[in-house]
Amino acid sequence: MNNVKTAMLIAAMTALFMGLGFLVGGPRGMLVAFAVAAAMNLFGYWNADKMVLRMHHAVEVDVRTAPEYYRIVEGLAGRAGLPMPRVYVIQEDQPNAFATGRNPENAAVAATTGLLERMTAEEVAGVMAHELAHVQNRDTLTMTVTATLAGAISMLGNFAFFFSGNRENNNPLGVVGVLLGVIVAPLAAAVVQMAISRTREYSADRRGAEICGNPRWLASALAKLAQSAGRTVNYDAERNPATAHMFIVNPLSGQRMDNLFSTHPDTQNRIDALVAMGGEADTRPVPAERYERYEAAPADAAGGPWSRGLDRQRAAADEAPRRGPWG
């Protein structure tokens, strides 16, 4: 069923892309848009995860460079019966996280330094269990490819004005068609993008609570995320808004209600749903000895015990040149 939903959503985004091509360049523009969309879908299937990670300047870590974080993900992946994903850290003060990859065998999870430094080990486990739930539910392919197509639709809409004076574009609506393309198509893409995220976040919350063993860990993390994310500007996310729906909470701006134009469900509604799970989840720790060891570690002035394991990774990121999303 997830594969069917993925195909339907990608088809809907492709149709939007073709419709915008028709409004810009008539039948010929629609054919060109179809060819471009087909190429982007193929390219996105194999490379969209790498593009998203580059957009946010994510740096891969391992058990040596971020031992606590890596072992938490390792323990959760084992509990969920998933292959070990690649693990990334994003140098970003805003607490947030996302997962990407075309399937569980090629998945990656990424967390910001803001999240790792502000959360307890249990809260980090709750957040990463949520991201692994997206991997297990195979949401990551849909969300990553949709981000690529949504960005392309917005970009094509911005270029539409350049073609508005071309009388040979066979667009029956003329300038009105171009205006519709500029305004309506990106808006429709955003609505599809938002619908994808909102319908899947609740499912990932529930499965994430089952994976980590305690719904209150994720509920506590979401409460902190709701307080912090909206007050911190994530500049990479602002430059790449088409990826906003991939994060566990909206990296662009907070939303106070579930409505059509919200990229995520209201965080309080998600917290209430997790608290309502109560004793439904398997509350066995994941695994207990790891959390006991991390919890006993003293927190330094910069944040929790996570900052010790991130010092080497932060220094490497500072030395590396900043690159655009295309490398």
The set of catalytic residues is 131
Contacts with 62 (C-beta within 8 Å, 6 or more apart), sequence order:
70, 87
Tokens of 72: 């938490």
Q: Is 264 annotated as a binding residue?
A: no
Contact in structure between 108 and 53 (CB atoms under 8 Å): yes
Reported as type and span, the H/E element at residue 274 is helix 267-277
d(C-alpha 251, C-alpha 263), whole Å: 10
Contacts with 155 (C-beta within 8 Å, 6 or more apart), sequence order:
none
Count of positions (residues) in the chain: 327
Q: Strand locations in the chain, DSSP E?
A: 58-61, 86-90, 97-100, 108-112
Q: Is 210 annotated as a binding residue?
A: no
Tokens of 129: 């269990």
- Residue list for the binding site: 130, 134, 201
- Residue list for the binding site for Zn(2+): 130, 134, 201
